[in-house]
Structure 1
Amino acid sequence: MAIIERERHSANGDEAGGDLRPPVAATGAAAIRIRGLEKTFGGNRVLRGIDLDVPAGQFVAVIGKSGCGKSTLLRILLGLDEPTGGHVTFKTAGEEAAWPNARIVFQEPRLLPWATVADNVAVGLGEGAPPLEAKRKVGAVLSEVQLTEKAGEWPARLSGGQRQRVALARALVSRPGILALDEPLGALDALTRISMQQLLARVWKELGFTALLVTHDVSEAVHLADRVVVLDQGRIALDLAIPHPHPRRHGNPALAELEGKLLAAILGEEKVGA
């Protein structure tokens, strides 16, 4: 995967001051370091020198207007696209250069219609997993997303929220160090979306992975993330900490104030948070 090749490149010292130790396979949450990240499509400079550090186990949301570079940043971090310039490196919580186990959940569940819920989740383990171990891991993760009773069902018989929980379980079954979420709740109705937000917050806290959420929903970002990063024309316009414990209540005035600061940054208002 490209994500591993970039880590090997950086770990061999190609980045100034790079770590000369060979990277290890990360078994827990991975930290992310981005320096000078650039991405150009033709004449369109989508990312313009992004610098960002994400500690292992942190939940970061990335928001901004359409076309600001949110999904491009996520795709580069997951190895689904190559940067034009700059460096992306990963480390374990112990500061060793790492090959992270990274997974992504998209807006569409992308389930196999001919496979049961359990078999769809097992896809996340890859080929060659011992059957008994795979069954145990699938059962455990279905319990975490509250779908144990749906293990033998077909995707067509599930609600939209249930299908998205299957997609989440498929991403979580291999216990990723990094979980990327690209507008995963965008197609859900309001009440289902809130329920899924609560589920995401719970499994992140329980499993301890590093989470990167791309969303257009400022309220969603504030209710889920430790930090919210606003992208504007390929640059970071604001990096805002959300210093409130989970679970977070919708309608909390303190969170509403933070939402206002973020909206001001997205809309380009001169006095952010004024």
Structure 2
Amino acid sequence: MSHIEPARKFTAWGKEIEPEYRVPAPVPAAGAGKAVGIRIEGLEKSFGSVPVLRGIDLEVPAGQFLAIVGKSGCGKSTLLRLLAGLDEPTGGQISFSGPDGAATTPNGRIVFQEPRLLPWESVAGNVGVGLGPGVSRREAEAKSLAALAEVQLAEKASEWPARLSGGQRQRAALARALVSRPDFLAMDEPLGALDALTRITMQGLVERVWLEQGFTALFVTHDVSEAVVLADRLIVLDEGRVALDLEVPQPRPRLRGAADLAELEGRLLAAIFR
């Protein structure tokens, strides 16, 4: 029989919350939740006369975890912003498909390197922002608290962002992106500002919520070790083009420092610094 410890009480929206006692649900396989496939065809983006993306063709299956690496200025963040609808391409197109293969408009979210939390809102209030307008207060409360529990931050629901550590602020930002159950999640170096130990912990958290929710993940990072540990597939961008497209066949969980992962890291570095 499992030993279940009572969850700690915490306060949110001016009232005390006492979560239920429950056995953690088993972790389903990747892709168990909703996800969208992504097709990128001849994608170009220029800023004035400066080309950043130069005709990218890429297909990302629904539920895949794709890591994107490359030197600074190679177009990684620009690609994510285009996918998230925060910018418009100069040429080419991006399309999304649902489980039946039909074209769809996705529920996509993006997480940045900086948490970008609102200092005048509580942690739970910041998470609720991710739901957008038209959600009742009761529903927003319930979904925000559930999202915080998923990132192991439920006890901080009523705190102000300034009272959180760097890792906690980034977990709150992740909860804000996850609260609406996205079809795909774009992450732009979300762990880049964290110390080494916190970063490893957050890598495990990102992997776990991806496995549980089953969304399509696109993860930009400068850290090739991080990319190899997390991703199903790796691409290297170089001067706005895909220089390497590599599958990661190793099963999860992956052992850091293993020889087969080190070989993949070497191939990535060779493509980046060729």
Percent identity over the alignment?
Answer: 70
Q: Is contact 1:71–1:214 with CA below 8 Å preserved after alignment?
A: yes
TM-score, normalising length: structure 2 = 0.87
Q: Distance in 2 between matches of 1:140 and 1:247?
A: 25
Match 2:108 to one of 102, 111, 126: 102
The answer to whether structure 1 residue 202 and structure 2 residue 193 are counterparts is: no
Which residue is 2:40 aligned to?
A: 34
Report matched runs for 1:99-178 at 5 Å.
99-178=105-184
Which residue is 2:219 aligned to?
A: 213
* Residue type at the aligned position of 1:260: G
CA shift for structure 1 position 43: 2.1
Q: Which runs of 5+ in 2 are unaligned?
A: 1-32
Q: Distance in 1 between matches of 2:128 and 2:122?
A: 10
Match 1:82 to one of 82, 85, 88: 88
3-state DSSP class of the match of 1:162? helix
3-state DSSP class of the match of 1:263? helix
CA shift for structure 1 position 248: 1.6
Q: Distance in 1 between matches of 2:163 and 2:153?
A: 13
* Residue type at the aligned position of 2:248: I
* Residue type at the aligned position of 2:111: V
Q: Distance in 1 between matches of 2:135 and 2:255?
A: 40
Residues 68-113 of structure 1 show CA distances to partners (whole Å, capped at 9, x for unaligned) of: 1111111111111111111110001210111000000000000011
Q: Which runs of 5+ in 1 are unaligned?
A: 1-26, 269-274
More displaced 10-residue stretch of structure 1: 73-82 or 171-180 = 73-82
- Aligned-CA RMSD value: 1.0
Q: Distance in 1 between matches of 2:36 and 2:91?
A: 22
CA shift for structure 1 position 165: 0.1
Q: Is contact 1:201–1:246 with CA below 8 Å preserved after alignment?
A: no
3-state DSSP class of the match of 1:81? coil
Q: Is contact 2:34–2:213 with CA below 8 Å preserved after alignment?
A: no
3-state DSSP class of the match of 1:213? strand
Q: Is contact 1:102–1:176 with CA below 8 Å preserved after alignment?
A: yes
TM-score, normalising length: structure 1 = 0.87
Give aligned pairs, total.
242
The answer to whether structure 1 residue 261 and structure 2 residue 267 are counterparts is: yes
* Residue type at the aligned position of 2:239: Q
Which residue is 1:10 aligned to?
A: none
* Residue type at the aligned position of 1:215: T
Q: Distance in 2 between matches of 1:149 and 1:249?
A: 31
* Residue type at the aligned position of 1:130: S
Q: Distance in 2 between matches of 1:79 and 1:234?
A: 18
* Residue type at the aligned position of 1:220: E
Residues 217-249 of structure 1 show CA distances to partners (whole Å, capped at 9, x for unaligned) of: 111111111001001111110001011222222
Q: Post-superposition, which runs of at least 4 consecutive aligned residues in structure 1 deviate over 2 A? A: none
CA shift for structure 1 position 137: 1.1
Q: Is contact 1:230–1:236 with CA below 8 Å preserved after alignment?
A: yes
CA shift for structure 1 position 132: 1.8
CA shift for structure 1 position 67: 0.9
* Residue type at the aligned position of 1:193: R
Which residue is 1:22 aligned to?
A: none
Q: Is contact 1:65–1:266 with CA below 8 Å preserved after alignment?
A: yes
3-state DSSP class of the match of 1:90? strand
